Amino acid sequence: MPTQVIFPPHGRLMTKLTALGPYLRQQHSSEGHFFFDCLASCINAKKAPEEREFWGWWLEMVETEAGYQYRYYFGRYDINGDWLEDKVPAKHLEPVQQTLDDFYQKLITLLEQEYSLTLSPASDLSAPTLSVSA
């Protein structure tokens, strides 16, 4: 008989996910679906703040029967406030990748240690699987 997975109440989980840092976008999240992003590297800091675009990543986490699955993408956060999937230029890649790795470490630790929940890549994930550094 399979073990039943127990999920925390949505509000409590939202509070814990918010505490991980400035990644959770509550307005794009809902029961069983969570949206995270990070504007990791400014494309042109000489522009006025409201005209700046950024390189970064976004990650979606969805509830499944066994825990959660994730998909993530790299790209550009444009002047309209939209994410566009795109290859991050080499000079911006390190900070973008590092912020994703740091966030993933915090997320997996929270889900596994505090809630005994799994986080696995979605079956259709085309990007490399994220892993926890030793």
Backbone angles phi, psi at 27, to 5 degrees: -70, -15
CA dihedral angle for residue 113, residue 9, residue 74, residue 118, rounded to 10 degrees: 40
**10-121 carries CATH number 3.30.310.230:** yes
* H-run or E-run covering 108: helix 90-109
pLDDT value at residue 21? 87
Percent of the chain with pLDDT over 70: 97
- Provide CB contacts within 8 A for 71, sequence distance 6+: 59, 60, 121, 122, 124, 125
Pull the structure tokens for residue 50. 């409201």
As a whole number, the mean pLDDT across the chain is 93
DSSP state of 126: -
Would you say 130 and 101 are in contact if contact means Cβ atoms under 8 Å apart?
Answer: yes
pLDDT value at residue 1? 46
Other Cβ atoms closer than 10 A to 30: 10
pLDDT < 70 positions in the chain: 1-2, 134
| Per-domain residue ranges of the chain | 10-121
